[in-house]
Structure 1
Amino acid sequence: MDYPYVLHTKTMKAYLDQYIEELLSLGRYTFARSELDGRFGVGDAAIRQCLQRLMRVGSVRSIRSGFHVIIPPEYRSRGMLPPEMFIDDFMKHLGRSYYVGLLSAAALHGAAHQQPQSFSTIITKPSIRPVQSNGINLIFPVKSAMPLNGIDQKKSAAGFFRVSSPELTAIDLLSYLRLVGGVSSVVQVVEELIELMSEERLGRIAEGTAKTAPLQRLGYMLEEVFGEKELANVLLRELAKRDYFHIPLTPGGRLSKCPVNSKWKIKINENLEGEL
């Protein structure tokens, strides 16, 4: 579409509505404020006024200053698109590498009993402030480096986005225990992820995992709780290459008079079988 260089605010409203319809017809559900500045030759005040009108009627939401999500009629009652439909565009807008992880990834793999309260997107430093907008809560846990293996592409109605594989999801759940509610909160999730795991992928991902403790906890869980010896042995072979020490199954839990699993060097201070 070609637009005159100067538009009155009333005319601008019509052109902006038309522009948003054009984006939707192309399968796009997001736009940056900078796109409007370059597309329409009007002042900042006119664009701001038109965007505020669209936000009042619920057809556009602001995720962060300069980035907007289009809400088509079929999602209007929710007030927001599912995050997987705009997270890739948002992270590209910020110029950041990412993958959807933790309980959000588990849910996308069909391994969560209920929708997580937060949508977790794993990043590297610098950190990103959480985003709360119209019933969604986006959080951005930080990892020291992006994994070389274990990040899959998943398709939403708006295109592809990055998500941790079942194997990486399980390891991450045991790496961010405070965020996901502790070992007892993830044991059922890991049980469902097991059905999707492969030994080869688990080995490649474990080899690139910097932290040792989540491998110990996951290995113990796989072997002693679920009887998955083949998968557990993949982690044991990786641990054999490292120096690893005794750790509690549940960080911060009681340590006195706990039985110890010498194979995995785990102090068993919680009965996980009781959580199944």
Structure 2
Amino acid sequence: MSIFAYDMGVPSIEAFFEKRLAQGRAYFTREEAQAAFDLSPHALSVALTRQVRKKRLARPWRGFYLILRPEDRAFGAPDPVRWIDPLMQYLQLDYRIALLRAAAFHGASHQAAMVFQVIVPRQMRGFEIGRQRLEFVYQNPQAFVQVNQTGWLGSLKSEAGFAKVAGLELTLLDCARYFHKAAGIGGLAQIAKDLGGQAKPSDLAQIAVHYENSAVRRLGYLLERAGHVAQADALRPFVRQAKTAALLDPSVKPLVEGLPGLHEKAPGWRLILNESVEVDF
């Protein structure tokens, strides 16, 4: 079969797309396409590239393709929740949807996720595809394996199946650890207020063992400030392990470089409150 037959809409390629869509699999790998069609590797590459140009396909990763429905074409790609799981399976890499998208999933109504954030145990470059933007956040592999457990994960459902998402307690600790990617300290404070009361104190304490002590203390302080006393108390034992006081927001620089300035302290959490925090009620 010639490459030109594909571009003319010969039923075989249409049937391939339709069969995948009917199965709820709006994606395929290059290897699957190679097995389905009697084309040389070069001819297949040209055929797939032309389908991408026609906006019938999108390619978020080399060798991995998305079949675009008409409603997807205006955005250049469907919501990543519909294809992140098969993509990560293709890459043979464990993952979890996290931070702002996970917080919104759990009910943090103030958080608008402008980027689809995924935590992985490997350094990966994010990318944009159409109007969708993906960001991969690195977590130390040892810590990742310890916390990316079934009991601490949830699942996001779409018509394509399920995708792994951080559970509520894991979301809180991820946002505390990577607060600079979760709308800053103010964003973390809002998430702590919105979600903290639903968190299981015992799970928080168990997961927190695998996070930096300063991140745990920041979360504990913000949970206490939001009135979620039981959850804050579950994290209080971590204060005894702290060797030094930490800044609430280490990204805030003093007015005069080299001078620490005078800041209010939260001795109960060994924090220096160098940033005011406000949340919506």
Scaled by the length of structure 1, the TM-score of the pair is 0.88
Distance 1:110 1:220 in 2: 21
Q: Is the 8 A contact 1:29 1:69 kept in 2?
A: yes
Of 197, 200, 203, the residue aligned with 1:198 is: 200
> How many Å apart are 1:256 and its aligned residue?
1.9
Unaligned runs of 5+ residues in structure 1 are 1-6
Q: Is the 8 A contact 1:151 1:163 kept in 2?
A: yes
Distance 1:222 1:102 in 2: 17
Distance 2:74 2:107 in 1: 24
Q: Is the 8 A contact 1:212 1:244 kept in 2?
A: no
2:271 counterpart of 1:266? yes
Q: Is the 8 A contact 1:187 1:275 kept in 2?
A: no
Assess, with a 3 A threshold, how the Cα gap between structure 1 residues 140 and 58 changes in structure 2: closer, same or farther. Answer: same
Q: Percent identity?
A: 27
Counterpart of 1:144, as a letter, is: N
Provide the residue aligned with 1:3 in structure 2: none
Assess, with a 3 A threshold, how the Cα gap between structure 1 residues 79 and 274 changes in structure 2: closer, same or farther. Answer: closer
Q: Secondary structure at the match of 2:138?
A: coil
Provide the residue aligned with 2:217 in structure 1: 216
Q: Secondary structure at the match of 1:140?
A: strand
Aligned length: 266
Matches within 5 A, 1:85-164: 85-125=82-122, 127-145=123-141, 146=144, 147-149=147-149, 150-164=152-166
Q: Secondary structure at the match of 1:272?
A: coil
Q: Is the 8 A contact 1:103 1:112 kept in 2?
A: no
Q: Is the 8 A contact 1:184 1:275 kept in 2?
A: no
> How many Å apart are 1:34 and its aligned residue?
1.3
> How many Å apart are 1:274 and its aligned residue?
6.3
Counterpart of 1:88, as a letter, is: D
Scaled by the length of structure 2, the TM-score of the pair is 0.87
Deviation beyond 4 Å, 4+ runs, structure 1: none
> How many Å apart are 1:195 and its aligned residue?
4.2
CA-atom RMSD, angstroms? 2.0
Of 236, 243, 262, the residue aligned with 1:257 is: 262
Unaligned runs of 5+ residues in structure 2 are 255-259
Assess, with a 3 A threshold, how the Cα gap between structure 1 residues 252 and 26 changes in structure 2: closer, same or farther. Answer: closer
Distance 1:252 1:115 in 2: 22
